[in-house]
Amino acid sequence: MDWLKISLYDNASPIMEQLILFHDYSMLIISTILSLVFFLMTKMVKNYFYSNNILENQMIELIWTLVPTIILSFIALPSLHLLYLMDELYNPILTIKILGHQWYWSYEYNDFNSIEFDSYLNPTSTLRLLEVDNSTPVPLNCQVRLVTSSHDVLHSWTIPAMGLKMDATPGRLNQMSLFSNRTGSFFGQCSEICGANHSFMPIVVDIVPMKYFMSWIKNFN
């Protein structure tokens, strides 16, 4: 986390890096607009004089119509570019199926003889409501397809540090892409209010080098 823990998580994927840059870029524009509006309002309140040209002026009306449109274009274009990048999925080497239950997650590695396991909250962990008994290993620097669905109600599979958030909807398959450029354990929680134990559905993804991932596959019981 950044200074005073008021900013976003440190990025663990190229997509999250771009999302943080877009956030900072948008906040710069918004802060500039707020400062300018506050300055103009202060000047108007303290000014004892007025001009008839300000009360009705077609040029001013044209400017304050066109300028917001231009500003919104500068925000919308990179936003659309990011949306397309987040949906882009080219030649993944691995597919992981994620199934939401009340209140735990199931994972399936169908590319490796149907490896399946459930992931429950670990109540004895020092990381309150964040640790699980079975984490999800994913190879480093690899394009991975994540397919989400639900067994009962709406859930949402989320890893903030990777910029991942996808609803798990009953009777429907949703798809997203995972590509991480650094190792580590990354945490998330169900982001959809799915019932009384909604807060007890943590998510842990372990990003490991390929040789360790293949060793885990071979030794899986």
Query: Does residue 206 fall inside a structural domain?
Result: yes
Query: Does residue 1 fall inside a structural domain?
Result: no
pLDDT given at position 96 = 92
Reduced to 3 states (helix: H, G, I; strand: E, B; else coil), residue 130 is: coil
Residue 45's pLDDT band (cuts 50, 70, 90):
confident
Question: What digits encode the pLDDT tens for the residues 184-206?
Answer: 999 999 988 888 888 889 999 99
pLDDT given at position 125 = 77
pLDDT at position 2 over 60: no
Q: Which one of 87, 117, 146 terminates a domain?
A: 87
pLDDT at position 73 over 50: yes
Residue scoring higher pLDDT (140 or 112): 140
* Same domain flag for 82 and 98: no
Q: Please give the residue range of the domain that contains residue 57.
A: 11-87
Q: Which residue has the tokens 């200074």?
A: 3
Rounded to whole angstroms, the Cα distance separating 76 from 169 reads 28
- In this prediction, residues 1-22 reach a mean pLDDT of 78
* Same domain flag for 119 and 81: no
Q: Which one of 31, 65, 87 terminates a domain?
A: 87
Handedness of CA 155, 157, 159, 163 (dihedral sign): negative
pLDDT at position 80 over 50: yes
CB 189 within 8 A of CB 19: no
Q: Which one of 65, 87, 109 terminates a domain?
A: 87
* Same domain flag for 116 and 200: yes
* Same domain flag for 126 and 80: no
Structural domain total, the chain: 2
- In this prediction, residues 172-187 reach a mean pLDDT of 90
CATH of the domain at 152: 2.60.40.420
- In this prediction, residues 54-64 reach a mean pLDDT of 77
Show Cβ contacts of residue 167 under 8 Å, excluding neighbours closer than 6 positions.
Answer: 148, 154, 155, 156, 174, 192
* Same domain flag for 71 and 124: no
Q: What is the pTM of this model?
A: 0.80
- In this prediction, residues 61-70 reach a mean pLDDT of 88
Query: Does residue 2 fall inside a structural domain?
Result: no
CATH of the domain at 31: 1.10.287.90
Query: Does residue 3 fall inside a structural domain?
Result: no
